[in-house]
Copies of this chain bind each other. A is one copy, B any other.
């Protein structure tokens, strides 16, 4: 199973992290984003969106980090990480949307601007971060994990850009419950980090 990967991408790291936690073997295929390989053939035929990560597994090709998490957890992870029941799937899914929406537009965007020079709106990225992080903090002050009272793909999806947001000026000083949750994630068996995670 091959993951088309970029080491510095938090979206790719979501997948690498989950695979490490769940004991799933990934063959990493680095994509030369600085060289523009993601916008050219042959990668662009694999993913017309021109983005990493992409997972290729026995004829299944998926773009989007959340979709890859759902696939891997369903196929190889058992019910622990992505459950079978409707209410449980809904509970996890709330946080997959939060990852794709607010975490993407907030701490991820701030980091893209500061670290990679993306032409995005820094003020907006900080405003979205300042709105979403207190909600995550409130939730984590009442819960050990984002969903189901245990580690799930919800944590894997939200964690990377929350933990690396400081590279875009989104710090966690005012969020002790988030910092404690980050420590819990780092203590999970199999945990791996990425550059930018302190």
Contact = CB atoms under 8 A, between A and B. Distances in A.
Interface residues of A, number: 36
A63 interface: yes
Nearest to A105: B105
A67 B90 contact: yes
A8 interface: no
Contacts of A124: 120-121, 124
Nearest to A65: B97
Nearest to A75: B86
Contacts of A170: none
A21 B124 CA distance: 37
Interface of A: 48-49, 60, 62-68, 70-72, 74-75, 85-87, 89-91, 93-94, 96-98, 100-101, 104-105, 120-121, 124, 135, 138-139
24 contacts: A48-B135, A48-B139, A60-B87, A60-B90, A62-B94, A63-B94, A64-B93, A66-B97, A67-B90, A67-B94, A68-B90, A70-B86, A70-B89, A70-B90, A71-B87, A71-B90, A72-B86, A74-B86, A74-B90, A96-B96, A96-B100, A100-B100, A120-B124, A124-B124
